[in-house]
Amino acid sequence: MTVPASTIWVINPNTTESMTAAMVDCARAVVAPGTHVVGVTSEIGPASIESHYDEALSVPGVLRAVERGERGGADGYVIACFGDPGLDAAREVASGPVVGIAEAAMRTASYLGRGFSVVTTLGRTMGRAADLAEHYGMQRFCRGIHACEIAVLDLDGDPEARKIVTEACRDAIEADGSDVVVLGCAGMADMCASISADLGVPVVDGVTAATLTAQSLVAMGLRTSTRGEFAAPPPKDYLTG
Amino acid sequence: MTVPASTIWVINPNTTESMTAAMVDCARAVVAPGTHVVGVTSEIGPASIESHYDEALSVPGVLRAVERGERGGADGYVIACFGDPGLDAAREVASGPVVGIAEAAMRTASYLGRGFSVVTTLGRTMGRAADLAEHYGMQRFCRGIHACEIAVLDLDGDPEARKIVTEACRDAIEADGSDVVVLGCAGMADMCASISADLGVPVVDGVTAATLTAQSLVAMGLRTSTRGEFAAPPPKDYLTG
Amino acid sequence: MTVPASTIWVINPNTTESMTAAMVDCARAVVAPGTHVVGVTSEIGPASIESHYDEALSVPGVLRAVERGERGGADGYVIACFGDPGLDAAREVASGPVVGIAEAAMRTASYLGRGFSVVTTLGRTMGRAADLAEHYGMQRFCRGIHACEIAVLDLDGDPEARKIVTEACRDAIEADGSDVVVLGCAGMADMCASISADLGVPVVDGVTAATLTAQSLVAMGLRTSTRGEFAAPPPKDYLTG
Amino acid sequence: MTVPASTIWVINPNTTESMTAAMVDCARAVVAPGTHVVGVTSEIGPASIESHYDEALSVPGVLRAVERGERGGADGYVIACFGDPGLDAAREVASGPVVGIAEAAMRTASYLGRGFSVVTTLGRTMGRAADLAEHYGMQRFCRGIHACEIAVLDLDGDPEARKIVTEACRDAIEADGSDVVVLGCAGMADMCASISADLGVPVVDGVTAATLTAQSLVAMGLRTSTRGEFAAPPPKDYLTG
Amino acid sequence: MTVPASTIWVINPNTTESMTAAMVDCARAVVAPGTHVVGVTSEIGPASIESHYDEALSVPGVLRAVERGERGGADGYVIACFGDPGLDAAREVASGPVVGIAEAAMRTASYLGRGFSVVTTLGRTMGRAADLAEHYGMQRFCRGIHACEIAVLDLDGDPEARKIVTEACRDAIEADGSDVVVLGCAGMADMCASISADLGVPVVDGVTAATLTAQSLVAMGLRTSTRGEFAAPPPKDYLTG
Amino acid sequence: MTVPASTIWVINPNTTESMTAAMVDCARAVVAPGTHVVGVTSEIGPASIESHYDEALSVPGVLRAVERGERGGADGYVIACFGDPGLDAAREVASGPVVGIAEAAMRTASYLGRGFSVVTTLGRTMGRAADLAEHYGMQRFCRGIHACEIAVLDLDGDPEARKIVTEACRDAIEADGSDVVVLGCAGMADMCASISADLGVPVVDGVTAATLTAQSLVAMGLRTSTRGEFAAPPPKDYLTG
């Protein structure tokens, strides 16, 4: 029996192309033969997402990317920012499944132990992560959310970043008594293996977790239900400022 | 002792000016002497908000309105759509308090009985209302969310609308065993008194509830804490598509 | 349009008149023109409320005060002790809205950030505050409840009290990572502004918050629903010991 | 080994002596040899408890009874009204354990199946029962609270009462899909066996459940912790109106 | 880049080989090239699992199968009964990830809409499904659990079974207002596609969902954390009866 | 009136007879005249229970003991391991009530204060205790679960054990701010009185608490409901490996 090839669009909700490239590399390393990963950088919005304001203004770009994907043959989508911006809206307009990296990371971690610790970038984003943990039913597994206070765009440039993130993870599992680490930023994807090796616990990166979740949903022929809330949005007049 | 005059901007997140006018009338009928209500219609986004997609695309307009309010002397803000679009982001950029009509309506209703029923427009928006009830801690008071299946812009034009909404409210309190009705759309604000008279229970409209909440917060000198999550967002490069 | 004048009875459930006077001053400083605040000291019960036993024995006095208010033209009521003694019973007998200072303080704080810390008097009262936070749906906002171990009646007399309370508030927001302080005793009302100035975060006093909530409910014509649980109590024979 | 004799005071919080007599009979039928049950009728307060107002005004009488019990050799106490009035306060003043009939009934029922239905008297008391179910951690077992709309004092006099209560229990377990019935009024204690026989499910009466719980706590030498919240209340001046 | 081939053992906790064969067919239809699915039928325990008693007695067989898998080159495991029997214990002894079909089905469904309905075999198993929904954090997505009252081993033999299950699914989504169906028995796996076609909503089968989840975890190099609770069990003397 | 004599089987789920003897002594010290306590040591399974694996493999022995009790005149059962292994299954096969020591200990503690701390043996068993606290509705009372890191079978042999457990209890109530201690292992039963004396707080041992709970249920004529989930399991073919 042969599962047909599928194409997953990994959408970076910020406008920084180097981040897109790095996360696509991570996703490609784990997908099955026949799964094509397409990286897409948002064309409008903030260069990185570190506030509710940034996140709100990233959503129109995410939705525009999904609309392009619909015309471009995407079978499934990943929204690759840990705030999962625009996820509900994207599900209304996509014909294939849409997976956020926070939801996939947390749910993946929930298979691996009793509790996980999230380690994210700036402390001001911890509230959003807590909201999502609750929204996804993962509050009972999420034992703590911690910040390493490195700005998103410094994760790549700062030579000390990997070390700081690793130590934040070590402190987190100790403080929380948790079994698993969840990396709280798409920009940390390429640190996943080394942190796991250093700490001796499973470390989950949302970009790979979400891409494989999308791959699996496509393989099973599953997509967002259109029975009610997530049916295509009713047509409407829009003013563009 | 004299409480100084204050100015509350009531922002309609959709672009339909007649709705703004109607809701401002309701707010002005209840504010204290010295409270000025300014109605603001969003300049970009959808004509009405009936999906996650509409709501997501209304947020940039809400934030632009708040930014204008900051320059225009607003002491406090109301976001006058029952999905409370952009509330967290608005709190980061406003120097005065920001109140959503869903949060104010639900919390106001929670003073009036053990449980309330929400009656909203289209069934597909019930999920968002449920999310907000939980987010605001009002899940324990919210006994049910019901739709009357009238589109937002038909609330005004349809001569039968008031009757249909009233009957939906009657059915809701009966089915839920609730004490109070919460109207789930800013476009229902002017039906509040008549429904309460017909049903013999308190009926809460979010526009008036939120405006008076903002008035009270301003009177007490209270605004969103800037201690962490809701501090001004860090400056960032933005691409505008 | 003119909102008619209204009268709010602020009931002090303990029998200490100096506390009533101080809290009424705080309430009067924030109400709208046309709102009359009447301070009422309970005529029976304990001099201060610092146990479940004290609280239970304060309730008959609260109810007697409400019954006087019904004859005396009260439009709304505030129960001005952080245990909100007798709130449900008062709602059954009052024809206007009744607001507890704990419920109003917590709900007001919930508009101002993700989480608040309560700072109260004696540690033995923290359990009651936790019960109320849950009962009002505010558990998710309440990040911690802390005691400064000053007896209620020493808040006024002890020259060090304001300093001790302020430091307890500072420690609380640090320990809890919270955005807002809620003062857990009516006797702290007059410390509100200075603590906020010292700490740089919003500080909510329940007496003012509840008085303005009652003012707003009256302005909207809202009172406790009489549809079921809170209808007037059935007449009954009472033995008076 | 011999467990010493113990004395349990069963306090009826209302002033109706015939109810006390009936419930004491039920308790005596199940206690161990050596356990003495003393029935105590409150000397002040309402003839029956059917509102928050009644309940509030019953508490001083309950506390007075406990204070008498302390002088009279009580080893443990039962508060025999399904609203468990004054339970926290009684625990502060009693030197032996204090058990409410609602808490004992619900916790006892939780050993017997996945879920129970509560059947109480008037619908207006259902809210209190729901509060208690939550407070005692029994919300997950409590599948529904139902009223038979018989006034407390008519349970005894009305020849149809037993039949009506039985049918309400039958409807409740059917509607809730529950395994067990909890009788929601001390005045139903003597119906327990016949309802169980008629319905074929366990039926729990709180008076017997609480008396045996108190008996067991005394046998194990356990009483309310005095470590903090439930230590003896601090002495205080009281005004008696 | 090439993801290496992996082997997933799908363990049927009951002793009925025909069920194993049917479920393995379903799993093989969706796995990626390079994923080998090995079906394993338990050698001890009940022929089908329809009570807590059956489930308890199936666990030793599941653990024995995992121990064989450890020697036989399994990279990951699926426990293919909707009660997820022995899951925690299996995680202690397996060196690769272990996934239950209930947990995978529910978490997979949670990507596809706001709420799902579970349709299972006998009503007496609904309690276990509810326990698992809570344990996995899926309670908020699980809107109802329904039984079609077909015994497990009759799912295959009864020509009417598919029709009865389909109608139970239709009734369930209608009653619950849910978006998605979760099939509550491994024996329903081969009905998944036809029910989805008939009802027009996503239908999730746990066997395929769990197999793909195990495949993804293996691809990411993730397994149960050994940091604490799920470390290898301490050696112990065992009596075999 | 005379309550007839009853027989409670206290089943030790591990195979260590000295533990059975010690716990039966504790139970006999508190039961009523006329209650016979029969100690039963499991005939198959692990010598002590310190992992999910141990617990799973202890269940068949527990069920076999209950089946013997049914033939041997048991009126009620206690499962005397803090993981309450096999409790749901035992309820399906027993004709009298079945009580786990974790459930009885936690529910008993909930009558004695606002919160308890559990002190158990090895840290790896804390997760199971947390699961049970939630399952029994006791999460809100359970303020912390702590390990003293003494293996079960060393509780008896190690002369330092009592001291270590006592200090762990002292640290626990301090860290948790709790009122009561729950001993998290049947092997600690005989330390109960001395720890309570040392710490000045109530200390609850599950063996005695469960035995008295079973005694009370039998006295009231209550047993597990057979209305649905806990009816006798359907007959089934079993393979014995």
CATH number at residue F23: 3.40.50.12500
Residue E8 in this model has a pLDDT that exceeds 80: yes
Chain C: give the shortest CA distance to residue D200, in Å.
32
Q: What average pLDDT does range E62-82 have in this prediction?
A: 98
C194 touches chain B (CB under 8 A): no
Q: What is the pLDDT of residues F180-206, one digit of tens each?
A: 999 999 999 999 999 999 999 999 999
D240 touches chain C (CB under 8 A): yes
Q: What residue spans of chain B are helical by DSSP H? A: 17-28, 52-72, 87-93, 101-109, 126-135, 154-157, 161-176, 192-199, 206-219
Query: Complex ipTM, two decimals?
Result: 0.97
The pLDDT score that the predictor gives to residue E25 is: 97
Contact D203, D181 (CB under 8 A): yes
E208 with A220: Cβ contact below 8 A? yes
Residue F71 in this model has a pLDDT that exceeds 70: yes
CB < 8 Å to C136, chain B: 110, 137
Q: What average pLDDT does range A31-50 have in this prediction?
A: 97
Q: Is residue A118 part of a domain?
A: yes
Nearest to B89 among A53, A127, A237 (CB): A53
CB < 8 Å to D230, chain C: 52
Q: What residue spans of A6-125 are helical by DSSP H? A: 17-28, 52-72, 87-93, 101-109
Nearest to C92 among D52, D93, D236 (CB): D52
Q: What residue spans of A97-237 are helical by DSSP H? A: 101-109, 126-135, 154-157, 161-176, 192-199, 206-219
What is the count of structural domains for chain D?
2
* One domain, residues E119 and E84: no
Contact D158, D132 (CB under 8 A): no
Q: Which helix (H) or strand (E) holds F238?
A: strand F238-239
Instruction: Compute the distance between CA of residue D216 and CA of residue D209 in angstroms, rounded to an integer.
Output: 11
- Per-residue model confidence as pLDDT tens for chain C (241 residues): 556 789 999 999 999 999 999 999 999 999 999 999 999 999 999 999 999 999 999 999 999 999 999 999 999 999 999 999 999 999 999 999 999 999 999 999 999 999 999 999 999 999 999 999 999 999 999 999 999 999 999 998 677 999 999 999 999 999 999 999 999 999 999 999 999 999 999 999 999 999 999 999 999 999 999 998 999 999 999 998 6
Nearest residue in chain F measured CA to CA from D110: F136
- pLDDT-derived band of residue D4, with 50, 70 and 90 as boundaries? confident
DSSP F121-160: S-GGGHHHHHHHHHHTT-TTTEEEEEE----TTHHHH-TT
- Give the bridge partners for C144, in sequence order: C117
B95 touches chain C (CB under 8 A): no
Cα angle at D208 between D203 and D211, to 5 degrees?
145
Q: What is the pLDDT of residues C9-52, one digit of tens each?
A: 999 999 999 999 999 999 999 999 999 999 999 999 999 999 99
Chain D: give the shortest CA distance to residue C217, in Å.
22
Chain F: give the shortest CA distance to residue D212, in Å.
6
The pLDDT score that the predictor gives to residue F3 is: 64
The pLDDT score that the predictor gives to residue A158 is: 74
CB < 8 Å to D231, chain F: none
Q: How many CB atoms lie within 10 A of CB B239?
A: 15
Chain E: give the shortest CA distance to residue A148, in Å.
22
**Helix B126-135 vs helix A126-135: angle between axes, to the nearest 10 degrees?**
120
F153 touches chain E (CB under 8 A): no
The pLDDT score that the predictor gives to residue A196 is: 97
Selected residues 157-176 of chain C with any CB under 8 Å from a CB in chain B: 173
The pLDDT score that the predictor gives to residue D241 is: 64
**Helix D192-199 vs helix D161-176: angle between axes, to the nearest 10 degrees?**
50
F53 with E240: Cβ contact below 8 A? no
Q: What is the pLDDT of residues B115-171, one digit of tens each?
A: 999 999 999 999 999 999 999 999 999 999 999 999 999 998 677 999 999 999 999
- pLDDT-derived band of residue A2, with 50, 70 and 90 as boundaries? low
Average pLDDT over chain C, rounded to whole? 96
CB < 8 Å to E239, chain F: 15, 42-45, 47, 61
- pLDDT-derived band of residue B2, with 50, 70 and 90 as boundaries? low
Q: Is residue F224 part of a domain?
A: no
Q: How many CB atoms lie within 10 A of CB F108?
A: 28
D137 touches chain F (CB under 8 A): yes
Q: What average pLDDT does range B28-42 have in this prediction?
A: 97
The token pair that represents F179 in the structure block = 């009122």
The pLDDT score that the predictor gives to residue D102 is: 98
CB < 8 Å to E228, chain A: 113-114, 177, 179
D57 with C238: Cβ contact below 8 A? yes
* One domain, residues C147 and C94: no
Q: What average pLDDT does range E219-230 have in this prediction?
A: 97
A51 touches chain B (CB under 8 A): yes
Q: Is residue E237 part of a domain?
A: no
CB < 8 Å to D224, chain F: 111-113, 202
A73 touches chain E (CB under 8 A): no
Non-local (6+) Cβ contacts of A189 within 8 A are: A22, A23, A26, A183, A205, A206, A207, A208
B110 with C139: Cβ contact below 8 A? no
* Percentage, residues of chain D above pLDDT 70: 98
The pLDDT score that the predictor gives to residue C156 is: 85
Nearest residue in chain B measured CA to CA from C135: B140
Distances (CA, A) of E192 to E23, E49, E180, E204, E206: 11, 20, 12, 7, 10
* One domain, residues E96 and E20: yes
C34 with B33: Cβ contact below 8 A? yes
Average pLDDT over chain F, rounded to whole? 96
- Which residues span the domain enclosing F149? 103-206
- pLDDT-derived band of residue B212, with 50, 70 and 90 as boundaries? very high
Chain B interface test: which of A12, A42, A55, A57 (most B C-beta within 10 Å)? A57
Q: Is residue B228 part of a domain?
A: no
Nearest to F30 among D3, D30, D113 (CB): D3
F239 with E50: Cβ contact below 8 A? no
Q: How many CB atoms lie within 10 A of CB F164?
A: 15
Non-local (6+) Cβ contacts of B128 within 8 A are: B52, B55, B83
Q: Is residue E228 part of a domain?
A: no
B139 with C137: Cβ contact below 8 A? yes
**Phi, psi angle pair for D153, to nearest 5°:** -75, -10
Chain C: give the shortest CA distance to residue B241, in Å.
32
Q: What is the pLDDT of residues D203-232, one digit of tens each?
A: 999 999 999 999 999 999 999 999 989 999
Chain D: give the shortest CA distance to residue C169, in Å.
21
Distances (CA, A) of B65 to B9, B17, B43: 9, 14, 8
Q: What average pLDDT does range E1-29 have in this prediction?
A: 92
Residue B1 in this model has a pLDDT that exceeds 60: no
* One domain, residues A142 and A192: yes
F233 touches chain E (CB under 8 A): yes
Q: Is residue D232 part of a domain?
A: no
- pLDDT-derived band of residue A3, with 50, 70 and 90 as boundaries? low
A92 touches chain B (CB under 8 A): yes
Nearest to F56 among E86, E126, E241 (CB): E86
* One domain, residues A121 and A96: no
* One domain, residues F137 and F168: yes
* One domain, residues D95 and D163: no
Chain E: give the shortest CA distance to residue A14, in Å.
23
Residue F106 in this model has a pLDDT that exceeds 90: yes
B153 touches chain A (CB under 8 A): no
Q: Is residue D152 part of a domain?
A: yes
Nearest to D64 among C45, C233, C241 (CB): C241
**Chain D neighbors (3+ CB pairs < 8 Å):** C, F
CB < 8 Å to E151, chain F: 234
Size of interface C-D (CB pairs under 8 A): 132
Q: Is residue A174 part of a domain?
A: yes
D56 touches chain C (CB under 8 A): yes
Average pLDDT over chain B, rounded to whole? 96
The pLDDT score that the predictor gives to residue E159 is: 76
* One domain, residues C141 and C79: no
CB < 8 Å to C149, chain D: none
Average pLDDT over chain E, rounded to whole? 96
C6 touches chain B (CB under 8 A): no
**Helix A17-28 vs helix A206-219: angle between axes, to the nearest 10 degrees?**
60
Chain F: give the shortest CA distance to residue D94, in Å.
12
D231 touches chain F (CB under 8 A): no
A63 with B43: Cβ contact below 8 A? no
* One domain, residues A45 and A127: no
In three-state form (DSSP H/G/I as H, E/B as E, the rest C), the secondary structure along chain D is CCCCCEEEEEEECCCCHHHHHHHHHHHHCCCCCCEEEEEEECCCEECCCCCHHHHHHHHHHHHHHHHHHHHHCCCEEEECCCCCCCHHHHHHHCCCCEEEHHHHHHHHHCCCCCCEEEEECCHHHHHHHHHHHHHCCCCCCEEEEEECCCCCCHHHHCCCHHHHHHHHHHHHHHHHCCCEEEECCHHHHHHHHHHHHHHCCCEEEHHHHHHHHHHHHHHCCCCCCCCCCCCCCCCCCEECC
Q: What is the pLDDT of residues E155-213, one digit of tens each?
A: 986 779 999 999 999 999 999 999 999 999 999 999 999 999 999 999 999 999 999 99
Average pLDDT over chain A, rounded to whole? 96
B235 touches chain A (CB under 8 A): no
The pLDDT score that the predictor gives to residue C3 is: 64
F231 with E127: Cβ contact below 8 A? no
The pLDDT score that the predictor gives to residue F170 is: 98
- pLDDT-derived band of residue A241, with 50, 70 and 90 as boundaries? low
Burial group, residue F151, by CB count within 10 angstroms (0-12, 13-18, 19+): middle
F225 touches chain E (CB under 8 A): no
- pLDDT-derived band of residue D2, with 50, 70 and 90 as boundaries? low
**What letter does residue B14 receive in the DSSP assignment?**
S
**What letter does residue E51 receive in the DSSP assignment?**
S
* One domain, residues F93 and F212: yes
Instruction: Compute the distance between CA of residue E219 and CA of residue E8 in angstroms, rounded to an integer.
Output: 12
Burial group, residue B198, by CB count within 10 angstroms (0-12, 13-18, 19+): middle
* One domain, residues D114 and D178: yes
- Buried b / exposed e across C122-152, counting CB within 10 Å, b at 16+? bebbbbbbbbbbbbbbbbbbbbbbbbbebbb
**Chain A neighbors (3+ CB pairs < 8 Å):** B, E
Residue F117 in this model has a pLDDT that exceeds 90: yes
Residue E1 in this model has a pLDDT that exceeds 60: no
**What letter does residue E62 receive in the DSSP assignment?**
H
Q: What average pLDDT does range E78-106 have in this prediction?
A: 98
**Chain E neighbors (3+ CB pairs < 8 Å):** A, F
D237 touches chain C (CB under 8 A): yes
Contact E228, F123 (CB under 8 A): yes
Which residue type sits at A200?
A: G
Instruction: Compute the distance between CA of residue B83 and CA of residue B52 in angstroms, rounded to an integer.
Output: 9
Q: What average pLDDT does range E120-126 have in this prediction?
A: 97
Q: What average pLDDT does range B48-58 have in this prediction?
A: 97
Residue A30 in this model has a pLDDT that exceeds 80: yes
Non-local (6+) Cβ contacts of E31 within 8 A are: A3, A219, E8, E37, E211, E212, E215
B139 with C138: Cβ contact below 8 A? no
* One domain, residues E157 and E215: no
The pLDDT score that the predictor gives to residue D5 is: 86
3+ Cβ–Cβ pairs closer than 8 Å linking D and F: yes
